[in-house]
Amino acid sequence: MTYRKIAFILGGYSTTSVTKQIKPYLKKYEQLLDRNLAMLEASLKRNDPDYDYITDRRTVLQEMCALRMGGEEIKMVLNQLMNLE
């Protein structure tokens, strides 16, 4: 269905020619996706005490709260720093 729509948008191309052109890119995308997912899973399974704080629930909540609540304060401090001579 998608290839048919792409062929219609491009005009003058058949669905098979569009499929032949897109398949190599689709395959590379799927390989990249698989590689990135494998790296993500490997990093989640890694037991490294130096990085345990990153995945700790308290750290995540603290960082999210700091980003959410501190946005205006950070902007104000940056504006004050820009006005210094």
Domain segments of the chain: what residues?
Answer: 1-46, 51-85
Question: What is the pLDDT confidence band of residue 1, given thresholds at 50, 70 and 90?
Answer: low
Contacts of 65 (CB under 8 A, 6+ apart): none
Residue among 36, 61, 11 nearest 44 (CA): 36
Owner of token pair 């345990």:
52
pTM above 0.75, yes or no: no
Confidence at residue 28, expressed as pLDDT on a 0 to 100 scale: 92
- pLDDT tens digits for range 27-81: 999 999 999 999 888 877 777 777 777 777 787 777 777 776 666 777 777 778 8
